[in-house]
Amino acid sequence: MNVELIGIRKTFGPVTANDNIHLRILSGTIQGILGENGAGKSTLMKVLSGFIQADQGLILLDGKEVKIHSPADAIHYGVGMLHQDPLDFPPMKVIENFIAGSPGKIIPNAKEVIARFNELQRQFDFTLDPQAHVDRLTVGERQQLEILRLLWLGAQVLILDEPTTGISALQKLKLFETLRKLAAQGKTIIFVSHKLEDVEQLCHRVAVLRRGQLVGEATPPYRIDELVQMMFGKVVSFGGRESYKPGEMALELKDVSIEDYRMRIGPVSLQARKREVIGLAGMEGSGQLLFLRACTGLIRPTAGRMLVNGKDLTGKGYHTFLKNGVVYMPASRMEEGLVPGCSLMEHFVLARDQGGFFVDWEGAQKIAQEQIAGYNIHGRPDSTVESLSGGNQQRTLLALMRTPASLILMEHPTRGLDIESTLYIWSLLKERCSNQGSAILFISSDLDEILQYSDRILVFFAGRVSPPLDAASTTVDQLGQLIGGRGWDAF
Amino acid sequence: MQRNKFQWTNIAFQLGAVALALGFTTLVLILADAPPLEAYKNLFVGSFGSIKKFTDVLVAWAPLMLATTGLLVTFTAGLWNIGIEGQITLGAIFTTGVLRVLQDSSAPPTLILTLAILSGMVGGALWAALVGALKTFGGVNEIFGGLGMNFVATALTLWLIFGPWKRPGIGSMSGTEPFPEALWLPQITSLRLSIWSVVIAVAALICIYILLKGTYFGLRLKAVGRNMRSSFILGIPTWQYMMASFLVCGALAGLAGAIQVTAVYHRLIPSISSGYGFLGLLVAMLVNFQALWTLPVALFFAALNIGSIQLPIVLKLDSSLSGVLQGALVLSVIIMEGVRQRFLKAARERS
Ligand SMILES: Nc1ncnc2c1ncn2[C@@H]1O[C@H](COP(=O)(O)OP(=O)(O)OP(=O)(O)O)[C@@H](O)[C@H]1O
Ligand SMILES: [Mg+2]
């Protein structure tokens, strides 16, 4: 289906998120949409998929003007969207989720639907269990389910908003294969991303947004520096690796075992020193999350001892860890990090351990302004967090981490951030390491990020933990092998 | 300019809600074969017709305000404190108990009254703490826990009135033996109103307003109410804060019960809470977290309650008409809020 956007304009109060955007996408194309955080990518996609309405502008599908008032309208016209932040998934079975929202018979024939579901997923080599519960699926599997569901509903245009941020390298390969197949079938794919290499690999065309405007389009072969220049309006230089000077012990694990209903980890021993960055690599659900959460005190280990700054905190709760300088940044921003309905300023007040009974709102305003400037957040002190773009919510999370911290634990610290912000945020984190002597443990599904910023790496596979690897002498290939479960005999 | 425009539309919608409620109630009146205008006139005259009537409204207003301000706190924490009726009742029971013990002592009446009112607050807080404990440690939803505790409180009142605290001779539904006038909160001559209850209600509103708007406690409570998980990660001890909100609300409810005993009935009666807890839930829903609005809205609801008292005498109408109007008002405000959201969305899209 050919998609044409003509003069799309959308403002939120003083912010112009989309400013007179013209874009034409032919059927069978994979169209990339690039742009820095807050450029207006999600807004444009939400306009096309009916989640919000444009102030001005037309949408043409196969040359016919359509008015899309709701996601249901959109899917009726054949436009479906996968969101940047996966919307709430109720505790349903895969097959129930698949059926839900589909028009037609009130009581569908379960057997028939399962057969159709399996037939559909076979086309793309997905192996979802129709009877599994959705909340037990990984982000990548939920994404697969959502794609199948939209196709089942008759989507001809598939919009994916930053689909590669939360999934494993393997799942990414599969996703790309799927998208190529769909494009070959004549479907229109719109792929929103920050990751230039993803766009380079996949997209037939690229459109770049900056500050709400369409600033250019490109076709292969892409020139990366040109794209970066278009996205940010300037040249961005990439830093090299730095070596670290390890300090005293920040975190020490002695034969720690951790368990949940799915797996058992350990016993693991680890010594993380001040100013050290340790990356945790592995496919989603390999145990790295469990491990990280145990280090925050959210999960109690079943055996072993944990020392923070030499102090034994074994079996203590999250808040005790926090008081001892352990700060934690979760991945699901809206569920575990931010409070919808509260403003940026209120968040900064909440995250600080100030004494006294009354809030000094004037002081808070100042602090909020400083943090907003310091972390380059596009928002005002009184903006509610849900009105920020995904990347800006991420910066807010980073800004909320308490200082000084002796140990910083992060899940996907730069998920959803554009390249420039990623560089900037890591420079801030590195600065914390060297100035405040914090040690960092972080999870990332981006192997390049792990190799680039860690000093040592722990690889997780099905609950097994590798000995710490020296990042400088590890290659992407080695890491990829280990993540996939090969080469473990060497340990 | 833009802001002004939105304010005007807001006011228009609020007026619309009132009109809708009036329309609905009028319909009920017509169906019940009663003259609507006459009924409204009686409601008005019955509540604002004379100084005496107006002070009667204030008598009802003070405990209603106390219950509502308490509920603002639990609402902020995202909790439905249905158990407030029982908390008011327990406040009344504790107050009565202390007055009974001390009434024959030689302590000065002011001291006795102060002690009695304070223990009323403790009683309410205790009852609320039980609901809170059931929720945080037993996993019992506060709505069910609260309902259960309400039943227990009612049963306890009846048992006391017909058992250990019964009037000399025989227990009766009219309650326990009234206290001597020295143990009443001082009243304005020839009126039922004690100025003290009004002062206490206004002071409570101011305190809660400041607590919710200007303190760390209020802000953290709001965060807990909006997203408990994130609040915990941000470092807020969530269950302690929920418990604290129950305690504050319970103490205010207990204070309402103490006022009912010391300033209104001067004894313990079976329905000592007068339903102000449930009515307070309506008011709290209506004002939607804006503490200052409780003052006029609670006054209006109290006026409806008092104004409807004479309906059965004058018009042979049941006094539950005020309940119909109050319920209709809450429903229509909720409906109008939904319409308003849609309208604003449409307006934004057009602009
Ligand atoms: N509901 C909203 N209310 C107010 N402002 C909004 C709202 N949604 C988006 N914005 C603003 O519009 C601008 C564009 O946001 P959008 O989400 O489209 O950015 P994006 O390009 O998707 O960024 P990111 O890469 O960070 O996800 C931002 O400045 C954002 O703050
Ligand atoms: Mg976005």
Give dist(CA B171, CA B164) in Å, integer: 9
Q: In what order do the strands lie in the sheet with A15-25?
A: A15-25, A3-12, A56-61, A64-66
Say which range, A42-56, A166-180, A296-310, B122-136, has the weakest mean pLDDT.
A166-180
Q: Percent of chain B scored above 70 by pLDDT?
A: 97
pLDDT confidence of residue A422: 87
The domain limits of chain B are: 62-289
pLDDT confidence of residue A239: 59
The pLDDT confidence band at residue B348, using thresholds 50, 70 and 90, is: low
A37 Cβ below 6 A of ligand 1: yes
CA distance B346 to chain A (A): 9
The pLDDT confidence band at residue B1, using thresholds 50, 70 and 90, is: very low
Q: What is the mean pLDDT of residues A387-399?
A: 90
pLDDT digits (tens, 9 = 90+) for A336-372: 999 999 999 999 999 986 678 899 999 999 999 999 9
**With a CB-CB cutoff of 8 Å, which residues 185-244 of chain B face chain A?**
214-217, 219-220, 222-223, 226-227, 229-237
Q: Which of A55, A341, A351 sits opposite B349 (nearest CB)?
A: A55
pLDDT confidence of residue B65: 97
A417 Cβ below 6 A of ligand 1: no
Q: In what order do the strands lie in the sheet with A30-35?
A: A79-82, A157-161, A188-192, A30-35, A205-210, A213-218
pLDDT confidence of residue B18: 81
Q: What is the mean pLDDT of residues A429-445?
A: 88
A3-232 and A249-325+402-490: same fold?
yes
pLDDT at A93 over 50: yes
Q: How many beta-carbon contacts under 8 Å exist across A and B?
A: 65
Output A396 or A486, whichever has higher pLDDT.
Answer: A396
Average pLDDT of chain B is 90
Output A166 or B210, whichever has higher pLDDT.
Answer: B210
Average pLDDT of chain A is 88
Output B348 or B23, whichever has higher pLDDT.
Answer: B23
pLDDT digits (tens, 9 = 90+) for A188-214: 999 998 888 889 999 999 999 999 999
Place of tokens 């909790």: B79
Residues of A in contact with B236 (CB under 8 A): 350
The domain limits of chain A are: 3-232, 249-325+402-490
- What would be the CATH architecture of the domain defined by A249-325+402-490? 3-Layer(aba) Sandwich (3.40)
pLDDT at B194 over 80: yes
3-class SS string, B234-286: CCCCHHHHHHHHHHHHHHHHHHHHHHHHHHHHCCCCCCCCCCHHHHHHHHHHH
Give dist(CA A122, CA A112) in Å, integer: 15
Q: Do A359 and B216 touch (CB under 8 A)?
A: yes
Q: Render A296-322 in DSSP notation, one character per residue.
A: HTSS--SEEEEEETTEE-TT--HHHHH
Atom of ligand 1 nearest to the CA of A388: 31
Q: Which of A339, A346, A358 sits opposite B227 (nearest CB)?
A: A339
Mutating to test ligand 1, I would choose from A9, A10, A11, A12 the residue with most ligand atoms within 8 A of its C-beta, which is A12
Tokens of residue A65, six digits: 């003007």
Tell me the pairing of strands A469-470 and A56-61: unpaired
Q: Do A351 and B234 touch (CB under 8 A)?
A: yes
pLDDT digits (tens, 9 = 90+) for A315-333: 999 999 999 999 999 988 8
Residues of A in contact with B349 (CB under 8 A): 53, 55
A331 Cβ below 6 A of ligand 1: no
Output A2 or A116, whichever has higher pLDDT.
Answer: A2
CATH of A3-232, picked from 3.20.20.80, 3.40.50.300, 3.40.50.11540, 3.30.360.10, is: 3.40.50.300
Say which range, A272-281, B11-20, B104-113, has the weakest mean pLDDT.
B11-20
Q: Which of A330, A353, A357 sits opposite B215 (nearest CB)?
A: A357
The pLDDT confidence band at residue A104, using thresholds 50, 70 and 90, is: low
Compute the distance from residue A267 Cα to the ligand 2 centre, in Å. 40
Q: Do A350 and B233 touch (CB under 8 A)?
A: no
pLDDT confidence of residue A106: 61
CA distance A384 to chain B (A): 12
The amino acid that residue A240 corresponds to is G
pLDDT digits (tens, 9 = 90+) for B4-27: 566 677 778 878 888 888 888 888
Q: What is the mean pLDDT of residues B49-69?
A: 95
Q: Do B216 and A357 touch (CB under 8 A)?
A: yes
> Which pTM value belongs to this model?
0.81
pLDDT at B2 over 50: no
Nearest to B83 by CA among B289, B260, B249: B249
Say which range, A124-133, B65-74, B333-342, has the weakest mean pLDDT.
B333-342
pLDDT confidence of residue A296: 95
Nearest to A141 by CA among A123, A168, A159, A101: A168
Q: Do B235 and A351 touch (CB under 8 A)?
A: yes
pLDDT digits (tens, 9 = 90+) for B198-211: 999 999 999 999 99
Determine the Cα angle at B274 with ends B273 and B277, to 5°: 60
Q: Highest mean pLDDT range out of A79-93, A223-237, B141-155, B282-296?
A: B141-155
Residues of B in contact with A328 (CB under 8 A): 233
pLDDT confidence of residue B350: 58
Please report which residue ranges of A169-264 form alpha helices under DSSP H. Answer: 169-184, 196-202, 224-232
CA distance B239 to chain A (A): 13
pLDDT confidence of residue A90: 66
pLDDT confidence of residue A85: 64
Q: Do A335 and B235 touch (CB under 8 A)?
A: no
Q: What is the mean pLDDT of residues A116-133?
A: 88
Answer whether the bond into residue A404 is a cis peptide, omega within 30°: yes
The pLDDT confidence band at residue B318, using thresholds 50, 70 and 90, is: confident
